[in-house]
Amino acid sequence: MNLWAGMVAGGAVVLGVAGATAIHGRNGVELGPPPLVAVKPVTEVVGGHTITDNYRWLEDQNSPETREFLRAQMAYTGSYFAQLAGLRERITKRLTELSRVDQTGMPQEREGALFFTRRLAEENQASIYMRPARHEVEGGAWLQPGDVRLIDARKLSTDANASVNIVAISDNADLLVYGVRHGGADEETIHFFDVPKRADISDELPLARYGGFGLTPDGKTLYYSKTLSDGTASIFQHAVGTTADKDVKVFGGKYKDETLGALDLLGCHVSENGHWLIVTVSHGVPATREDILLKDLRKPDAQYEPLVYGINSRFQLHMYHDEMFVNTDFNAPNGRVLRAKFGDPTTKSWPVVIAESKSPIRAVSVVDGVFFVGRLNDVKTETKIYTLKGKEIGEIQYPTIGTGGVVQGRENSDTGYYMFSSFTVPPTIYEYNVPTKESSVWSEPKVPFDSNQYEVRQVFYTSKDGTRVPMFIAGRKGLAMDGKAPLLMTGYGGFNISETPAFSAEYAWWMEQGGFFALPNLRGGGEYGESWHEAGMFQHKQNVFDDWFAAAEYLLKNHYTTRARLAITGRSNGGLLMGASMTQRPDLYGAILCGYPLLDMSRYQRFLVGRWWTTEYGSAEKPDQAAYILKYSPYQNIRQGVQYPAIMFLSGDSDTRVAPLHARKMTAAMQATVMAEPEQERRPVLLHYDTRAGHSAGVSVEQGIHDTADELTFLWNETGGA
């Protein structure tokens, strides 16, 4: 087939390929050439390097040309799935069975009442419920009324893509503050609900990106952090019962001798006893520095007093009445807990309560006057219990290898709650009695998945530079390692985020078909503390990719699967990982799902909140950082003459975190590259784009099922599944 070029308005070149059939999927799927896409070269110097971008025009999301590009791409992708209607229908049916079950969120207690979210099996979104406190009735019996639906998510939108979340609850349980988010956008509106009257009150905070909330115990004042139009954040005070235009800015602009910038994220909350407004100033994501300031709300003229200030490390404050503790990685890459006090914001004089160990701390809580400290021991969750003086007094026993949370609850309550999940165990909430140390199931979804037939194992492999890297592998018990099983692997490797086993209908379906599922714990995450994170950031980012490639090679060498049967998937920073996979080692995989990705690393910091992540990646605007960023940036490293695996990009208009332009531009560039190859080597390159889809959770269960069905249909078909 011959490549041809034609001219369109503005002198742009449009590439196309003559012939009816141009792309070959697996199992008989055939596609014509992808939509024609205009090539409009823009050349610029970035960090001392000259770059030409053929698809810069696709960055304008709302231009008529971009909307036409999306229309054509969605139609092209639809033609692929039309040929797999039977497979997709079977997948949809099973995903529906796995997903259409009652799901309940973690409860929060106020005056004996419990507030939580719950989605019934037939519903598309979770609503907010309250379980009233028990009341003694005549005769000495106890009456516990049924759960009450307070906020009905079914009434928030016609397409069921509006979701709700609990923002704050007053101590007397009379006021509920909740957020409403549409689609997968990060922005939300904030509403106020009178619990006894079962009705909204007139207050409403407008659509915005909020960073933290603090409600005073009496329910009269709400403090909140909001990102402003210039990209900076401030904290405001809202008097409940008034309109938002009367809200007063109480923090922002400058503090001490510093001016807050677009990299400074603000958080706030109010101590449980109502004494303190706690403000956190975090520089970047993940934060390279966290300051903590407190204002005494009992004193009208009180100033913000620094508890922690000017230290390039991360800190989290935990209070028990007016006692203060922080967990931090300052001088302790694996974390430790210190007793905090005013007067020494350098923390040098603060005593150690819980010392650093070889297992990094991932979470800390205080309930009923005891610490719950969650660590990762070779990426396996362990939670130990300590007195406030640091004496170990117990441990939570989790049922198997998985992800267990620390106990969450009120400082004076003897009851708290925690969640456990694994690849083979749906998320289960436990009630924990602090004095007796006893756990009991509080809520367990009835997912029709036989966990007893499956197992999770952990292996270790060696990366390119000799580093020992762990990986979880799940599958049916006794599944042969003969290279015949399809294998789905996902990963992340960044932002100090630890990837631990959790249940997913997508992964469950894959294992039910006789496939393996794998999750390597790449550098850049927090699985082995801050040193593990630092080994995968800035100029060390290539370590993340090398760890990933070594994981694939381990699985192939040990006959878990073959290259043609290896499917990989990743989102966000994991989407960047998928981009590096297709540009650096396309020979390892049969199919790639690249979701909500960062791909053009030369410009990511210019869009949406990308500037926050310069503390993780750096910026190509700086010559010394451009050298390593441009070396791995997927969009700048597409190569001619390479046989690429099947690829599907996933994004949507409602992603207000990672700009969808990355997926649009990479789709156009990859399609043009693949079409320049011999016909027999061309695999599908598709863009799955939904105008409602976004980075955050919030789409309806129905849409989530259909989107996941598309992903599985693509990956399963392109890795040889029947």
Low pLDDT (below 50) residues in the chain: 1-19
Instruction: Find the distance separating the first CA and the last CA of the chain, reported in whole Å.
Output: 30
Asked whether residue 20 is domain-assigned, the answer is yes
pLDDT recorded at residue 720: 75
Residue 449 C-beta-side C-alpha neighbours within 13 Å: 33
pLDDT recorded at residue 3: 36
Give the end of a domain, one of 397, 414, 447.
447
Give the end of a domain, one of 420, 447, 474.
447
CA neighbor of 231 nearest in space, from 272, 192, 264, 183: 264
| β-bridge partners, 458 | 472
Cα–Cα distance list, 426 to 133, 609, 686 (Å): 28, 33, 32
Asked whether residue 495 is domain-assigned, the answer is no
- As for how many domains the chain has, the answer is 2
| Residue ranges making up the domain that contains 637 | 1-64+592-693+707-722
What distance in Å separates the CA atoms of residue 374 and residue 361, rounded to the nearest whole number?
6
Name the region of 284 (left: φ>0; alpha: ψ -120 to 50; beta: rest): left
Q: What is the pLDDT of residues 224-233, one digit of tens each?
A: 999 999 999 9
pLDDT recorded at residue 21: 66
| β-bridge partners, 3 | 17
Amino acid sitting at position 74:
M
Q: 158 Cβ partners below 8 Å, 6+ apart?
A: none
Asked whether residue 59 is domain-assigned, the answer is yes
What distance in Å separates the CA atoms of residue 232 and residue 38, rounded to the nearest whole number?
36
pTM for this predicted structure: 0.93
What distance in Å separates the CA atoms of residue 117 and residue 698, rounded to the nearest whole number?
13
Asked whether residue 141 is domain-assigned, the answer is no
pLDDT recorded at residue 690: 86
Asked whether residue 686 is domain-assigned, the answer is yes
pLDDT recorded at residue 319: 97
| β-bridge partners, 212 | 225
Asked whether residue 374 is domain-assigned, the answer is yes
Give the end of a domain, one of 421, 447, 473.
447
| H/E run at residue 661 | helix 661-675
Asked whether residue 675 is domain-assigned, the answer is yes
Phi, psi of 354 (to 5 degrees): -130, 115
Q: What is the sign, positive or negative, of the torsion defined by CA atoms of 312, 316, 322, 323? A: negative
Asked whether residue 172 is domain-assigned, the answer is no
